[in-house]
Structure 1
Amino acid sequence: MNRSTYILPIIVIAVAAVMSSIFIVDERQKALVLQFGQIVSVKEDPGIGFKIPLVQEVVFYDDRILSRDVDPLEVTPLDDRRLIVDAFARYRITNVERFRQAVGTGGEDAAARRLDSILRAEMREVLGSVSSNDILSTDRAALMLRIRNAAIAEANALGITVIDVRLKRTDLPAENLNATFQRMVAERAREAEDERARGREAAQRIEAQADRTVVELVSEANREARVIQGEADAERNGIFAGAYGQDAEFFQFYRSLEAYGIAIGQGNARLVLSPDHEFFNYLRNENGTSTPDR
């Protein structure tokens, strides 16, 4: 029998054995070499690694930053106002030996479930120690940092480093939404009524000030009018006094005519006076009797 008949299978077996002993780790992975389930070596740097065929096996783990969405969680803050919190975390497998020991053959899925439990417990503890207004405010970075820092210690036991925790969404439970909306409507109505009351108060204050200003202006105008009228009367009296000083007889005659015009100028006036009353001095004739009506 030809020797090539034996040599060729041996070569094939040898090549297969060599190929099965080689494994490649790229830059996105870390690898563990296991022998009968026990860790033999760790390959963290990218490149070629070796193992014993049929005896040893290689398990690869993702070396990238991973993200995990936490299922919506109901928390009860200090003010007993229940909230539904939706969060996510970013983490990385930093110690593959510890990771393997912690999760066993469950791999990354088992680790993600355990990380969920850690995050949910820390979220309940941290968010339960503050009020709902602190959770609902936009400035809640301190709360997320507290959750992350609290989760880091427990996650390290899994060979995982928690990089970040974020609260994506915070809502009220569906059964509380209607009551909350009604309370918000009532609060806005109260604020609106307060604004209207302040507006009415301001309007009354402005109206009172305007009325006071009107009274002051009218009073000032009346005072000025009386002053002007008094000055005019004084000037008129001065003119009358000057006229009286120039011709007393004519002045008396002129004033009597004015009085006649006022007293009997309407045509239906009736005066009950004695005939010799001084009011009729300028209505008598030279003989001292009254001028007859014409």
Structure 2
Amino acid sequence: MRVSTLLAPIFIIAGVIALSSFYIVDEREKALRLWFGEVTAVIDEPGLNFKVPVLHEIVKYDDRILPLDTQPLEVTMKDNRRFDVDAFARWRITDVVRFRRAIGSGGENSARSRLETILNAELRKVLGDVDSGKLLSADRVGLMNLIRDASRQKAAALGVEIVDVRIKRADLPEQNLEKTFERMRAEREREAADEIARGNEAAQRARAIADRTVVETVSEAQKNSQIIRGEADAKRNAVFAEAFGRDPEFFAFYRSLTAYEKSLKGSNSTLVISPDSEFFDYLKSDSGR
């Protein structure tokens, strides 16, 4: 009875030591086996593994792609416009030994802090070299790729790969929003005034051309009408001359009738002329009355 009582604690201790001598690495993890802080083995295959209790320390790291959400960052663009940029990244640990030596015992939380510093620095550098129009257009994809590649180079020293970088939001700071709107409104008003001035100038040119065309057309028409009228008068006079040459008496009679028609128009026309005037030669009868 006394022997079993004495052996029970020994068996318990032995069982605890035996259980603590084994550890499991999940398929989503990688592990480091440390001997007094020095890396002695990298376990990147899932399964059951052995260690020396107390002497060996097992550190596990996530082997999946991990998120990194940064705090909003104020960035000044090349055209001096400021934006609050909210970005995020996706990263993974590629070299656990280098990661352990660079980050130390801080693990993934310390790595996130270091990566956020790298990402913010590249955001300021890349976005500071371009105008705000590129950030607000389809060119944003190219900018994100530049930030990703530059961050990836620096993150490689930590044993980390930056898989992707995305800009979630790019807004104007609240205190600059109203001033920006006023500046945009002033620019649009200036552009509108320029367009109106150019339109008025074009209208004046078109109106001047139209007026000149009218004057030229009317002058040409008047000239042509004068030519036609002159030609008609010449033909008429030629006809009259020919008629006069053939029968002078009839031509004098025709001209007298025309004079009567023009002079005696109206119902109350009055002429004061001597009765023996030549004007009445063709109104006199053969008896002289």
What interval of TM-score do these two structures reach, taking the shorter chain for normalisation?
A: 0.7 to 0.9
- Displacement of 1:175 in angstroms is 0.6
TM-score (norm 2): 0.81
- Displacement of 1:63 in angstroms is 1.0
- After superposition, residues 173-212 of structure 1 pair within 5 angstroms as 173-212=173-212
State the identity as a percent: 56
- CA distance in 1 between counterparts of 2:129 and 2:286 reads 122
- CA distance in 2 between counterparts of 1:41 and 1:144 reads 37
- CA distance in 2 between counterparts of 1:180 and 1:224 reads 65
- Displacement of 1:166 in angstroms is 2.7
- After superposition, residues 36-75 of structure 1 pair within 5 angstroms as 36-75=36-75
Is 1:118 aligned to 2:89, yes or no?
no
What is the aligned partner in structure 2 of residue 167 from structure 1?
167
Is 1:139 aligned to 2:139, yes or no?
yes
Mark the runs of 5 or more structure 1 residues left unpaired by the alignment: none
Q: Secondary structure at the match of 2:45?
A: coil
- CA distance in 2 between counterparts of 1:176 and 1:134 reads 19
What is the aligned partner in structure 2 of residue 258 from structure 1?
258
- CA distance in 2 between counterparts of 1:66 and 1:283 reads 128
- CA distance in 2 between counterparts of 1:269 and 1:15 reads 156
- Displacement of 1:105 in angstroms is 2.8
* C-alpha spacing 1:38/1:265, structure 2 compared with 1 (3 Å): closer
TM-score (norm 1): 0.80
- After superposition, residues 1-294 of structure 1 pair within 5 angstroms as 17-266=17-266, 267-271=268-272, 278-282=278-282
Amino acid at match of 1:87: A
Q: Secondary structure at the match of 1:157?
A: helix
Q: Secondary structure at the match of 1:71?
A: coil
- Displacement of 1:28 in angstroms is 1.9
Amino acid at match of 2:263: A
Amino acid at match of 1:58: I
- Displacement of 1:72 in angstroms is 0.7
* C-alpha spacing 1:207/1:79, structure 2 compared with 1 (3 Å): closer
CA-to-partner distance for each residue in 1:163-201, whole Å, 9 max, x for gaps? 333333222211111011011111111222222222223
CA-to-partner distance for each residue in 1:48-101, whole Å, 9 max, x for gaps? 322123443422111112221111111223443322221122221112122223
* C-alpha spacing 1:258/1:114, structure 2 compared with 1 (3 Å): same
- Displacement of 1:250 in angstroms is 1.7
CA-to-partner distance for each residue in 1:15-44, whole Å, 9 max, x for gaps? 765554333323321111234444331111
Between 40-49 and 17-26, the greater mean CA deviation after superposition: 17-26
Q: Secondary structure at the match of 1:225?
A: helix
- CA distance in 1 between counterparts of 2:202 and 2:25 reads 78
- CA distance in 2 between counterparts of 1:242 and 1:80 reads 95
CA-to-partner distance for each residue in 1:111-153, whole Å, 9 max, x for gaps? 1012112222332333334444454443144543443344334
Amino acid at match of 1:151: S
Between 182-191 and 7-16, the greater mean CA deviation after superposition: 7-16
Mark the runs of 5 or more structure 2 residues left unpaired by the alignment: none
- Displacement of 1:234 in angstroms is 3.3
- CA distance in 1 between counterparts of 2:118 and 2:265 reads 115
- Displacement of 1:158 in angstroms is 2.3
How many residue pairs match? The answer is 288
Amino acid at match of 1:56: H
Amino acid at match of 1:246: R
- Displacement of 1:214 in angstroms is 3.0
